[in-house]
Amino acid sequence: MPSVEGTRAGRSPGRRQWTWIGIAAVVVAALVTTLVLVLPRGADTSGRHVAERRTASQAFPGGLARQPSDQNQPGKQESAARAHGDAATARQIAVIAGQPIATWLTNTSVSATRATIRDVVRSAEQQRKTPVFVLYNVPDRDCGSFSKGGTEADAYLPWVRAAVRAMAGSRAVVLVEPDSIAQIHVCKRLGQGRLELLRKAVGELAGHGLTVYLDGGNENRVPTATMAKWLRSAGIDRTQGFFTNVSNFYRVDQERAYADRLADAVGGDPHFVIDVSRNGQGWRGTWCNPQGAGLGQPPHVTRGSTRLDALLWVKTPGLSDGTCNGGPAAGQWWESYALALVENRKRD
């Protein structure tokens, strides 16, 4: 018969083994709990270097700035109507002109572009709010369609650098090239060259205190997995995230659901903003000057409890999408359409 000491010695290794297994299980459980509670939704664990995303209030300090009068196209039309004694029209246009609207940078002239930026930044500083710019000058813009144009291929990055120098330190929000990524789906010649160019543009924009969003298309353009792959190729890891619905008409709930799916597919928890300038009546069957469209809800920054940072007026309501459905050239003021947008606006 073994002694008591021998019996204890024989059982001890087994007890120690189960003790260590129990400790290991507790440690693993604690680690899993920590990852679930601490890592943000959609956090990337693949080893990619992803920029830390800002909160909505950090991305848009002070809220949204209104454009200065010499940049506010609806405001100019409002003033013209008043000058001609048409107070009723002026009041209608004022519904548009009084809202914060993004400033589009489309002029290939470096000096003109920098002058516009400085004007908008100066006004925003006086308001203590955040200016929103749209870069819309990429080579082969709109794939030769209604908004065709842009810089020459070798002039784009110098143009971006000049714009960045004018914006640096302003804490501006910059939406980089609407349609530039989504359009690859139907304009194959853009391909990888477009993504590489955008990646270089992101490199120029990074590190200057700016909040940058890339083109995320909309819910009905590009398969989500494809769009996520293209966004990663375009450098989304160095940006705040992406924008959706620019110059389009989809409702917020639809676009938000799509944007959340896209953010999950991208990984790294990218944030997003949605253009609500003309989506008050939802999709109207076409993207180009649809009849019956209305202004969306007033633009505003969110409370920051989700990945949605802001609802913006990116497209200037009242500017034509192109020579379709009776419209003038793209970017031209169309008063009757502007008034219809006001009449059909979303009402709470």
Q: In this structure, are residues 156 and 140 in contact, taking their beta carbons and an 8 Å threshold?
A: no
Amino acid at 151: T
Q: How many CB atoms lie within 10 A of CB 15?
A: 10
Q: Which of 119, 140, 142, 275 is catalytic?
A: 142
Active site residue 142: yes
Give me 341's structure tokens: 């947008």
Write the burial class of residue 146 (CB in 10 Å: 0-12 exposed, 13-18 middle, 19+ buried): middle
Q: How far apart are CA 43 and CA 34, in angstroms?
A: 13
Q: What are phi and psi of 230, to 5 degrees?
A: -65, -40
Six-digit token string for 110 = 């470096």
The radius of gyration of the chain from alpha carbons, rounded to an integer in Å, stands at 26
Cα–Cα distances in angstroms (integers) from residue 152 to residues 124, 137, 165, 166, in the given order? 31, 9, 20, 21
CA–CA distances in Å: residue 225 to residues 51, 59, 193:
21, 26, 19
Active site residue 264: no
Amino acid at residue number 98: G
**338/327 Cα distance (integer angstroms):** 11
321 is catalytic: yes
**DSSP secondary structure string for all residues of 274-294:** EE-TTBTT---S-SSS-TT-B
Q: Residues with Cβ < 8 Å from 344, sequence gap 6 or more?
A: 280, 281, 292, 293, 294, 295
Q: Which of 179, 269, 275, 309 is catalytic?
A: 179
Residue 150 zone, left/alpha/beta (φ > 0; ψ -120 to 50; rest): left
Tell me if 272 sits within 8 A of 306, measured CB to CB: no
* Pair of tokens at residue 292: 């019956």
Which residues are part of the catalytic machinery?
142, 179, 321
